[in-house]
Amino acid sequence: MIAMVSPFKLLILVSFLFMTFSINVLSQEDLEERVYDYAEDNHQCFKCHGHKTFHFYNEYLEREVKKRMNPYFIIDSVKYYESNHWNFGCLDCHSYDYRTFPHAGELRMEEKPSCLDCHGGDEEYAQYHFEQMDEEFHRSVHSTKHSEDFTCWMCHDPHTYKINARTNENIKQTIIYDNNICLSCHADIGKYQLLSDNMNPNVLVSHEWLPNQALHFASVRCIECHTEINDSILVAHNVQTKDKAVKLCVECHSQNSLLMASLYKFQSLERRNKLGFFNAAILNESYIIGANRNIYLNIASFVIFGLVLLVIFGHGILRIIKK
Ligand code: HEC
Ligand code: HEC
Ligand code: HEC
Ligand code: HEC
Ligand code: HEC
Ligand code: HEC
Ligand code: HEC
């Protein structure tokens, strides 16, 4: 009797598992199906801001001249159209006066919109808890030390920011994406010193106590050790001073790893909802201790187990028929 139900149930489970690993990712087809309402308008800006050099008609010289673009003002159009704000015109956030070149000097003073200007109090984005993120951020070391100068845009590049933690099924990519946000300053003296006159501490040296540093930086995010865990938001935003950072190995290398409440939070919530207790057990087994067990090997073992049961079941039926 058990053998009659199990293979079927297992196969359903297996197909469920495959489904949960293939959700949410923006495919090439999705991208191609998008209608880019502002592509033509934006092209007027990308003509110059999308390239290392640009051309314009110099009225004094009465001829076309070619100039270098300030590298900080170059925007990658491919990344722009893959970002969260892909369906925006440049002029939704920037002044209409930018349509003329040379741009008027006073435009440098233009007020930039903040995340909360658009997302604050909007039901559609309730799942992100923007207000709470704002609160957390304002308690962080970055905001308390640099108040007005350190905005959300410092980490969320207005032209390329794309959510990962909740949409990208490839955790390694999310780790790289998120760590690059921090390293864009902590490994770049120029950007760091836009905000601080202090020397930028070398993060490779400050983490020498961590064995196999390269593997750790590829397997966990900076925020795992540097933020205060918060249960109600997916990505904790209160980056604390270095004396509060996680240094104890067992915080991660244990059954009750902090990674389940941070890096693997989305996965553990999602899959527990979809598959119930059974899958929580798989998660524990595959992620907590090593964090590097291959999930596909786990799936493969279920498939093989299912097939074995099927063969036994089929064999049993055949014997009954023969009798
Ligand atoms: C002919 C080339 C050209 C075109 C077209 C152009 N820009 Fe620029 N833009 C520049 C250059 C060069 C700078 C840097 C010098 C300056 O600020 O004027 C710049 C600077 C900027 C800045 C930064 C100003 C600052 O200092 O903070 C913004 C924002 C900007 N452009 C937006 C736009 C937008 C939006 C469009 C399209 C409506 C656009 N630009 C079209 C060449 C261009
Ligand atoms: C969602 C709003 C938004 C959109 C859409 C947007 N920008 Fe920006 N842009 C900003 C903000 C905010 C800043 C200031 C970033 C900062 O303070 O670091 C900025 C800064 C810039 C700068 C100055 C360089 C820098 O990073 O400080 C340029 C140039 C620029 N934008 C051009 C463009 C062009 C061209 C487009 C369209 C292809 C565009 N922007 C679309 C919000 C936006
Ligand atoms: C000018 C208004 C505006 C500003 C400023 C703005 N957003 Fe958005 N944002 C939007 C709109 C509108 C969408 C929906 C785009 C779509 O669905 O194509 C969006 C989409 C998003 C999404 C994806 C939501 C989803 O479910 O796909 C995230 C995440 C997001 N924004 C975060 C931010 C953050 C973080 C900031 C500040 C750093 C910010 N936004 C600033 C208007 C804005
Ligand atoms: C010190 C860097 C930093 C600052 C400053 C910062 N963020 Fe983030 N934020 C991150 C990182 C890292 C992620 C994870 C990105 C990912 O993988 O999706 C993130 C993710 C998010 C997300 C997506 C979370 C989700 O549930 O999917 C939102 C929304 C967001 N931030 C809003 C904000 C707002 C609003 C501010 C300013 C009040 C802000 N952030 C300031 C680093 C920062
Ligand atoms: C835009 C640049 C920038 C980005 C992006 C950035 N930081 Fe920072 N961070 C700074 C600066 C500047 C300081 C120094 C604050 C001070 O002491 O004046 C700092 C301080 C810190 C400190 C405190 C060090 C101490 O001495 O106690 C930690 C920890 C930290 N950052 C971690 C992070 C993490 C994690 C991220 C990514 C989520 C990140 N930072 C993203 C610029 C940045
Ligand atoms: C395994 C936990 C862990 C990870 C992962 C981690 N850190 Fe740290 N970090 C620490 C601890 C603990 C300290 C304090 C070290 C000390 O005081 O000896 C620290 C110190 C720092 C400092 C202060 C350096 C100084 O000398 O003043 C910065 C900045 C920082 N980390 C940024 C980062 C960035 C950026 C990343 C991601 C690339 C990162 N950390 C990843 C635990 C971690
Ligand atoms: C923020 C969580 C976290 C902290 C804190 C942490 N680790 Fe790790 N550690 C990991 C992850 C995730 C991996 C990668 C798992 C893997 O690939 O085996 C890893 C890998 C390792 C490895 C490499 C295993 C191998 O295959 O080579 C060693 C050794 C290790 N950690 C020791 C330590 C020690 C010692 C400490 C304390 C000083 C520490 N870790 C702190 C999360 C952490």
- Tell me whether residue 66 is in a domain: yes
Same domain, 143 and 223: yes
Among 58, 92, 98, residue to substitute to test ligand 1 (most atoms within 8 Å of Cβ): 98
Same domain, 153 and 237: yes
Nearest partner of 224 among 251, 270, 263, judged by Cα: 263
| Domain that residue 196 falls in | 126-246
Cβ–Cβ under 8 Å, residues 41 and 90: yes
Euclidean distance between CA atoms 286 and 284, whole angstroms: 6
Same domain, 130 and 242: yes
Provide the CA 237 distance to its chain's centre, in angstroms: 13
Same domain, 140 and 215: yes
Last residue of a domain, one of 246, 274, 295: 246
- Tell me whether residue 47 is in a domain: yes
- Tell me whether residue 15 is in a domain: no
Cβ–Cβ under 8 Å, residues 249 and 292: no
Same domain, 135 and 81: no
Q: Is 190 exposed, middle or buried (0-12, 13-18, 19+ CB in 10 A)?
A: exposed
One digit per residue, the tens of pLDDT, for the chain of length 323 reads 333 333 333 333 333 333 333 333 456 676 677 778 899 999 999 999 999 999 999 999 999 999 999 999 999 999 999 999 999 999 999 999 999 999 999 999 999 999 999 999 999 999 999 999 999 999 999 999 987 889 999 999 999 999 999 998 899 999 999 999 999 999 998 889 889 988 889 999 999 999 999 999 999 999 999 999 888 899 999 999 999 999 999 999 988 788 988 888 877 766 545 544 333 433 444 343 334 444 555 566 666 667 777 877 778 888 887 77
Ligand 6 pocket check for 170: Cβ under 6 Å: no
Distances (CA, A) of 158 to 169, 179, 233: 23, 17, 22
Q: Is 54 exposed, middle or buried (0-12, 13-18, 19+ CB in 10 A)?
A: middle
pTM of the entire predicted model:
0.87
Measuring from each residue's beta carbon to the nearest atom of ligand 3, which residues come in under 6 Å? 84-85, 87, 92-93, 113, 115, 117-119, 152-153, 156, 163
Last residue of a domain, one of 223, 246, 269: 246
- Tell me whether residue 300 is in a domain: no
d(CA 240, ligand 2 centre) in Å: 28
- Tell me whether residue 241 is in a domain: yes
Cβ–Cβ under 8 Å, residues 266 and 283: no
- Show Cβ contacts of residue 120 under 8 Å, excluding neighbours closer than 6 positions: 130, 131, 134
- What residue type is assigned to position 142 of the chain? H
Distances (CA, A) of 273 to 18, 34, 268, 270: 15, 30, 8, 5
Nearest partner of 291 among 237, 218, 223, judged by Cα: 218
Q: Total domain count for the chain?
A: 2
